[in-house]
Amino acid sequence: MEKSRFFCLILTISLCLLPSCARKNVETKGIILGFSQIGAESAWRNCNTRSVQEAAAGAGIQLLFFNAEQKQENQIKAIRSFIAYQVDIIAFVPIVSDGWENVLEEAKEANIPVLICDREINIQDESLYAGYLGTNMLAQGRSSAEYLIKKFVNPETGQFLEESGKPVRIVELRGTEGSSPAIMRAKGFRDILAGYSGFEIIYSESGDFLRSKGYELMCNILEELDEIDVIYSHNDGMTLGAIDAMKERGIKPGEDIIIISIDAEQAAIDALKRGEINCVVECNPKQGPDIMRLSALLAGNESIPRVIFMEEEVFTEWDDLSGIAPRGY
C-alpha cells in the first residue's frame, strides 16, 4: 500500500538508511519505523541505541530515530511527528510510566501499531499498544534481594549470620522517578526483604540513573549517615559514581560496604572481578534485533506477544567470573 508521506520539519530526524548490500530481509524492506529514544544517560542506554540503529540497518528497515534528551514532552512531539509522517510502526522507550494515553490514542486513530520498548507504561486501555519488549525489572529487584539473603541469612536456620543483632542497614540509589525500572526494582527488592525483619532500608533517593548523581548522593550520604552495610543501586552508572565517592574517603567498596548493582555493563563486571561490587544483576540492552523482528510482524499485520522479556543472568562474588563474555557496553 503506497502511502503519501510528508516530512515533518519540526522534527530533526537522523535517517539510518539501509546500505543496499545489507537489504537482505525482503519482508522488512521498505518498512519505516519511528523510534523515540529517551536520551544518553548511561552506557546501558548508549548500547540500547546502537543495538536499535545497527539492527534497523541490518534488517532493511528505514529508521526515523529521535533522541528526547530526557524529556517526555519531546517524546510526545516525536510520536506526533511519526504519525504525521505516516510511519509504518512506532516504537519508543517511555521515560516514565504515566502520561501516554492521548498520544497513543492519536497513533491508534492513525492506525499505526505501537511497540513499547525497554520501560513499561501504566495505561488502562491495553489496545493502545501492540506489545512490550524489555526486561523483567521486578525480577531484577527480587534477584538483588535474594543475593542479600544468601549473604546475611543462614539457609538452614533462617537466622542472621551476624551475631550483632543489629539490622543490616541498606542505602538505595533509585533510578529516574516515575520510571518503571525505578518502581519495579524498588518493589521487587522490598517484596523479598519483607520476609525478613533484620534488613532496614535507612535511605532511598533518586540518582536519575546518572553516574554524576550517584557520586553526589554518596558524598552526602557518607557525610550524613554512618554504619551503612549495603548499597542497592538501580544501575551501574550510579554505582560507579558512588564507588568513586567511597574511595575518596578510604572506604573499601565490596568490603566495608556490600554493593549490589543492576545493568552488568563492562565496568561493573570488572569491579565485580576486583571485589569492589558483590552482585551484578544483568539488564540486557541489546534489544534491536527483536524490535526489528516484531516491527516486521506488525507491518505484516501479524499479532505479537503482549510481553517479551530478554534473557538475563545474575553474577555474584561467589561465581566463576572468568567466562563472562565482553559486555559491549
Interface positions with ligand GYE (CB under 6 A): 41-42, 44-45, 118-119, 181, 209, 235, 237, 262-263, 283
Q: Which is nearer to ligand GYE, 141 or 237 (CB)?
A: 237
Q: Which is nearer to ligand GYE, 173 or 246 (CB)?
A: 173
The count of residues in the chain is 329
Let me know: does 192 contact 142? Beta carbons within 8 Å.
yes
- Which helix (H) or strand (E) segment holds residue 146: the answer is helix 137-152
The distance of closest approach from Cβ of residue 97 to ligand GYE in the complex, given in angstroms and rounded to an integer, is 11
The distance of closest approach from Cβ of residue 296 to ligand GYE in the complex, given in angstroms and rounded to an integer, is 24
Q: Which is nearer to ligand GYE, 146 or 282 (CB)?
A: 282
Strand, coil or helix: 217: helix
Q: Report which residue type is found at 147.
A: Y
The distance of closest approach from Cβ of residue 263 to ligand GYE in the complex, given in angstroms and rounded to an integer, is 5
Distance in angstroms (rounded) separating the CA atoms of residues 226 and 233: 18
Which residue number is nearest to ligand GYE in terms of Cβ? Answer: 44
The distance of closest approach from Cβ of residue 141 to ligand GYE in the complex, given in angstroms and rounded to an integer, is 12
Q: Which is nearer to ligand GYE, 119 or 327 (CB)?
A: 119
Distance in angstroms (rounded) separating the CA atoms of residues 157 and 236: 33
The distance of closest approach from Cβ of residue 139 to ligand GYE in the complex, given in angstroms and rounded to an integer, is 12
SS (H, E, C) 53-106: HHHHHHHCCEEEEEECCCCHHHHHHHHHHHHHHCCCEEEECCCCCCCCHHHHHH
Q: Which is nearer to ligand GYE, 47 or 222 (CB)?
A: 47
CA 178 to each of CA 98, 119, 185, 201, 236: distance values in angstroms, whole numbers, following the listed order: 8, 11, 12, 20, 19
Q: Which is nearer to ligand GYE, 57 or 182 (CB)?
A: 182
The distance of closest approach from Cβ of residue 270 to ligand GYE in the complex, given in angstroms and rounded to an integer, is 16
Q: Which is nearer to ligand GYE, 58 or 134 (CB)?
A: 134
The distance of closest approach from Cβ of residue 44 to ligand GYE in the complex, given in angstroms and rounded to an integer, is 3
Phi-psi region of 178 (alpha: psi -120 to 50; beta: other; left: phi over 0): left
| DSSP code of residue 17 | P
The distance of closest approach from Cβ of residue 288 to ligand GYE in the complex, given in angstroms and rounded to an integer, is 15
CA 204 to each of CA 48, 76, 169, 174: distance values in angstroms, whole numbers, following the listed order: 27, 30, 11, 7
Strand order in the sheet with 14-16: 14-16, 62-67, 32-37, 89-92, 114-118, 131-134, 307-309
CA 39 to each of CA 44, 62, 74, 165, 199: distance values in angstroms, whole numbers, following the listed order: 11, 20, 10, 45, 35
Q: Which is nearer to ligand GYE, 70 or 86 (CB)?
A: 70
